[in-house]
Amino acid sequence: MKKEAVTCVVMGDAGGIGPELVAKSLRHSDPFDGLKTLILGSREILDMGMRISGTKIKVPTFNNIEQALASDSPVSLLDREDLDYGDITIGENNKRCGEADLGLARYVVELFQNGLIDGLVFAPVNKISLKMGGSAFEGYKAYIANLLGLTRTSEEINTIGHLWTTRVTSHMAISEVAQHITEQNIYKVIQYFNEELRKFGYENPKIAVSGLNPHNGDNGMFGREEIDEIGPAVERAKRTGVNVEGPYPADTIFLKVKKEGIPGVVSMFHDQCQIATKLMGFDEGVTYFGGLPFPIMTPAHGTAFDIAGKGVASERPLLNALSLMRKAVLKKTN
């Protein structure tokens, strides 16, 4: 029986930088302090990450979840010998890598449903590899949510520590965005964002909402979304007690939040917030998936096939994800 907070870590696409980042993270003790961390995957892949990163740290390896949980070591490897990666070419998409990551996702859900884990941190996976491996979903989180039988929207939240952002639309063509900018959609995201920020210690988080059109549409001269949809959604959320303001022009909203120390921004589409956030802290970014029965986090970058295998990728975003997860699960289990 689990007696302490347990975080599991998936090493991500074996052809990307994930395995070397997980190996590098083991050089740091703080993200693992006070909880048990299980690395899920293959001994072969962790050893590969160790070689690439030049890391030489002994990690106890178990084939049995009960033995791994009973270990005195704060970090253990739960070796899944059933994973078949075949011949991996670093820096390339691979069907078997996708199949392995999907298999690990199914195992994570099984562990959670059996009450054995409290959260998941996954190193970068690759959407193309996942699709080659048989996934019909847009990403790893959506695949896991489907396994859990969830239909509730779970928008990505990105954070660089002092700033948190989310958006009303995410991975879709710009030509499709405007049709999804409705009062109801915006209101739901504001409420969801407010709830999630409170989980991380913000008692009454201030949230700024961006407009959609240049100059907020200039009073409807080129777009009425700010007048007809965004503004009403903000006012509706205010009436429920949410500390929210807007809409603010998208090209200046981040100047405002930086100057005033506003912790939360709701944008209308992906690049409105992602460009600004990555400029402000690319090497710090974490993506958090709220609205799920257990927290899931990952570095806010991809598999970086162009530098995979060179040992030069920074582990800082992964460490930040591990630290944020530690905060989340310790608060949840204490």
* Residue 155 confidence (pLDDT): 74
Q: Which of 297, 264, 263 is nearest to 31 (CA)?
A: 297
Q: Which of 81, 64, 89, 76 is nearest to 13 (CA)?
A: 89
CATH of domain 6-150+292-333: 3.40.718.10
Q: Tell me how far apart the alpha carbons of residues 284 and 326 are, in angstroms, rounded to a whole number.
A: 16
Fold of 156-279: Isopropylmalate Dehydrogenase (3.40.718)
Residue 153: pLDDT over 50: yes
Q: Tell me how far apart the alpha carbons of residues 283 and 104 are, in angstroms, rounded to a whole number.
A: 27
Q: Which amino acid is at 92?
A: E
Map out the domains of the chain as residue ranges: 6-150+292-333, 156-279
Instruction: Report pLDDT digits (tens) over 53-102.
Output: 999 999 999 999 999 999 999 999 999 988 888 888 999 999 999 999 99
Q: Tell me how far apart the alpha carbons of residues 40 and 2 are, in angstroms, rounded to a whole number.
A: 17
Instruction: Report pLDDT digits (tens) over 97-144.
Output: 999 999 999 999 999 999 999 999 999 999 999 999 999 988 898 899
Banded pLDDT at 29 (limits 50, 70, 90): very high
* Residue 1 confidence (pLDDT): 44
Instruction: Report pLDDT digits (tens) over 164-196.
Output: 999 999 888 999 999 999 999 999 999 999 999
Do the strands 264-267 and 164-167 form a parallel or antiparallel pair, or are they unpaired? parallel
Q: Tell me how far apart the alpha carbons of residues 48 and 179 are, in angstroms, rounded to a whole number.
A: 46
Q: What pTM did the predictor assign?
A: 0.89
Q: Tell me how far apart the alpha carbons of residues 98 and 127 are, in angstroms, rounded to a whole number.
A: 8
Q: Do domains 6-150+292-333 and 156-279 have the same CATH topology?
A: yes
> CA separation (Å) from 209 to 31, 34, 35, 244?
32, 37, 36, 7
